[in-house]
Structure 1
């Protein structure tokens, strides 16, 4: 006579068979690994994961950039203090063995086409690349967009505190530093005088001492991380990863930043990631969680699912064991 055993779930089956990998995925319904970072600080209704309206996002970013520019220009210059801090940083870098700015700057200027190209790079890509990356993420990875954008905004706001409270003369403006001001001597726009933004005639309306931290490094590294995590093609990932390294060479070669500016640019970026985690309570590049009772998010262009389906312990697939014979 044949008998059939009662149905059992895959959770029970894998526990009996000792499949470690499967057991890990099927354990503790709804369980999440604890993180040392507290959060989220905002209630669920203020943490949407859908893509925001385009016109509203454009207005929001435009307003944010206007406030960034306004605050940056309003920062006190304190020329004497900025000059002293520049010499202090050079002394610190000499002690740490990082004071190669002077040698590299003079070498770049000796190769005129390279210095000219770096001037163009410095004055353009700093603003173009973040916009391109934001637009790309907005349309291709809508469930990641809010988290990615929050990191950049938080990083920029934190940098404004550095601009305001720590005016710093960049190497090209440092008295007695013997650095070559490539923008002044090789202006890409054909003018005899220019600011660190590559625009002539704006010396009185821009804060030339807003050098610490370097947002050129912060923004370019942010772009690199986004591209490296979300791009599908390897050559695109490689270009994204190379971008901050090229930017670092440019800011040192044109004497617009010290090495320590770049270091604190990375620190500012890390703080931006921390702020995003505190606010939203999830990793930046992780797919957005599926709302309770909601349908799974659409599959992303990289082939991964929008978010893992919830394991409620009830919807596990039922399996039928083999039939046993009794005599």
Structure 2
């Protein structure tokens, strides 16, 4: 018999087998992660419900645990108000007083502010989960990152909203018109941080909703409503004296970071991901042709 081979000398293993196996496993993992990014799997409903519930609980806990530094918040409000005057955009008080004179309109805006912020956002999440499962995870990530950054702003930049400014001359429309639902006025004030106004998550969330509807909805009128939603929200937060214009700018900046973070994580613009995960697409139907099409070829072959 001949000399033993190198494999036999090493107990049936290549001398560098371990070295070769590791890179192959790493490469396989990279391919799997890449595919997950390009076509995220459908999320599990129980996980999403638990995640949303836990996230909102943490959001409320952190937001309301921020020290209500009234003197600092009033000082910051003065800075914002002076900045807007220097920019020539300090018209919030005029809008607030003008709209307050129309009872039915300001009452509707108070209820809008208190309810649609949550109702529309949850509705868009449900719609995404049901009809765009391949995009849901990425688009939801945008919302979560946006909100997380907002919490940092609430903590490090306490800001009094216009209605609470000392000598600001603004009208607290919820108190004036006796409407319900605001966590920032009336009996609910003791469970909500009064000075978490910068950035405005009413603008961050509504713009997220609007863009999602605009890019993914099919009907033109629905897409138009999607774009109008954040615009209407901007008017409402100013008219009700809950935010300055600059708070809205802060909310948009947070949303921009959220989109950039999702772009980095998924290697794609979130709305460009496949609507349904590739692994869930039905297998392609086999292509069939009439039997007679193949007869000439068979006949010629026999000849």
TM range (shorter): 0.7 to 0.9
SS in 1 for 2:257: helix
CA distance in 1, matches of 2:279, 2:71: 61
Which of 112, 115, 119 pairs up with 2:106? 115
Q: Deviations over 1:2-27 (max 9, x none)?
A: xxxxxxxxxxxxxxxxxxxxxxxxxx
Contact 2:203 2:230 in 1 (8 A): yes
Tell me the equivalent position of 1:261.
247
Correspondence 1:272-287 to 2 at 5 A: 272-287=258-273
User: What RMSD over aligned residues (CA atoms) do the two structures have, in Å?
Assistant: 2.3
Q: CA deviation at 1:275?
A: 1.0
Q: Deviations over 1:189-239 (max 9, x none)?
A: 3x9xx642x6x4222221010000000000000000000000000110111
Q: CA deviation at 1:138?
A: 0.6
- Find runs of 4+ consecutive structure 1 residues off by over 2 angstroms: 42-48, 287-291, 294-299
CA distance in 2, matches of 1:214, 1:290: 32
Give TM-score scaled by structure 2 length: 0.78
Alignment partner of 1:203 is 2:189 = yes
Contact 1:214 1:264 in 2 (8 A): yes
Alignment partner of 1:58 is 2:49 = yes
Contact 1:119 1:187 in 2 (8 A): no
CA distance in 2, matches of 1:46, 1:83: 47
The structure whose Rg is larger is: 2
Correspondence 1:1-327 to 2 at 5 A: 43-44=33-34, 47=37, 49-189=40-180, 195-196=183-184, 200-288=186-274, 297=281
Identify the structure with the greater helix proportion: 2
Gaps spanning 5+ residues in structure 2: where? 1-29, 284-303
Contact 1:82 1:169 in 2 (8 A): yes
Give TM-score scaled by structure 1 length: 0.73
The one of the two structures with greater contact order (alpha-carbon pairs below 8 A, sep at least 6) is 1
Alignment length, in residue pairs? 252
Q: CA deviation at 1:289?
A: 10
SS in 2 for 1:49: coil
CA distance in 2, matches of 1:131, 1:155: 16
CA distance in 2, matches of 1:156, 1:70: 13
CA distance in 2, matches of 1:148, 1:44: 18
